[in-house]
Amino acid sequence: MNVLILGGGQLARMLILAAAPLGIRCQVVDPAAESCAADLAPWHRMAWDEVLVRRDLLDWADVITYESESVPCALLTALATQHKVAPSAEALQLSGDRWHEKQWLSRLGVPVAPHRCIDSLADLQAATAELGFPCFLKWRQQGYDGKGQWRLNAHSDLASIWQAAQQRPSILEAGIAFTREVSLIASRRAGGELVCYPLTENRHQQGILIHSRPLADDPLQAAAEAHARRLMQAVDYVGTLAIEFFVVDEQLMANEVAPRVHNSGHWTIEGAETSQFANHLRAICDWPLGSTRLLAPTLMLNLIGQWPSEALTLAERGAHLHLYGKAPRPGRKVGHLTLRARSEGELMSHWLRLQPLLPRSEQPSSSE
């Protein structure tokens, strides 16, 4: 089976690593100046619209997938007329624009925060009068890891933040008093077979995911799975998908949907019987999906900006280091560390011993 991956970041890298044991061959297309997947599979640097004329690549591929929302929906739509593309352009179109995403979720009965569409400073002034403070201005497209997002605390913030947002089409969301942030990773085949991973509790810092921990028996698991099934069935979704939720009064409120493998599911490589990457590949190849069973207490920590000493980190029992081949840079995800243990107590002990080795921003707060 041959898989063409659009996008060459760390998600493509981990898809390629999961593909090898399955006998799947991969190639990568990405217009960026560098690709951390290039060490593992052929990388073709080209503009997105050039893909349509590369008959050699398109004829080689049995299925085309993507690892980034930066891939144009128009390209996926054009490719799908003659080639198998999964997930579909419709899934990316709905989730790649925050306004469309909120409407999609609401239509399907998935709760979301109160929000307004913002196209001007006047819109922003009117929306804040309705939603109150604090609230959050977010670009409709392309914002991620805290980029393209601003917190507004008072009317005096409006003009300066609208300028900082470059007056781009945005949404305004009401501030939500949530108690937890969780995500659900799910994979689905074309025939409807669907599997879900344990609900994962996440912590963010300045909009960037810092760590994720799967929960074996979260009381909101069934509700999260019901939302995922509804969303995936509505667009005949094929592949792996993530839904991020706020927990408000012990109820789920959707924050956003990612139509791809997801950072909060990296723990599945060592912590689940089948990783999210392997199940994405199984789904798009229309092969039976693997078990999502949690193998042991597990914790994933993102490495932001730099990474700790490999020798010292790997000396810790149950530690699994993943480096992405990226140069260190502030705010950049350069790798992740997964810890697995025999018990929750042992897991926390591993975590505490590793704290002095981690970059400062990755150390958990004392309350956790």
Give 2-85's CATH code, choosing from 3.40.640.10, 3.40.50.20, 3.40.50.300, 3.40.50.620: 3.40.50.20
Percent of the chain clearing pLDDT 70 (strictly above): 96
pLDDT at 267 over 90: yes
| Distance (Å, whole) CA 357 – CA 320 | 14
What's the token pair of residue 11?
């998600």
pLDDT at 327 over 60: yes
Query: From the annotation, which residues make up the binding site for ATP?
Result: 98, 138, 143-149, 173-176, 181, 204, 255-256
Q: Where in the chain is the domain with CATH 3.30.470.20?
A: 180-362
Q: Which of 105, 70, 74 is nearest to 89 (CA)?
A: 74
Q: In whole angstroms, how far apart are CA 169 and each of 23, 120, 164?
A: 44, 8, 12
114-174 is classed CATH 3.40.50.920: no
Q: Where in the chain is the domain with CATH 3.30.1490.20?
A: 114-174
**Domain 180-362, architecture per CATH:** 2-Layer Sandwich (3.30)
- pLDDT bucket at 210, cuts 50 / 70 / 90: very high
pLDDT in tens, 191-202: 999 999 999 999
Q: In whole angstroms, how far apart are CA 346 and each of 148, 318, 341?
A: 39, 10, 6
Query: From the annotation, which residues make up the binding site?
Result: 98, 138, 143-149, 173-176, 181, 204, 255-256
In terms of pTM, does the model score above 0.85?
yes
Residue 290 phi/psi, 5-degree rounding, is -90, 165
pLDDT at 88 over 60: yes
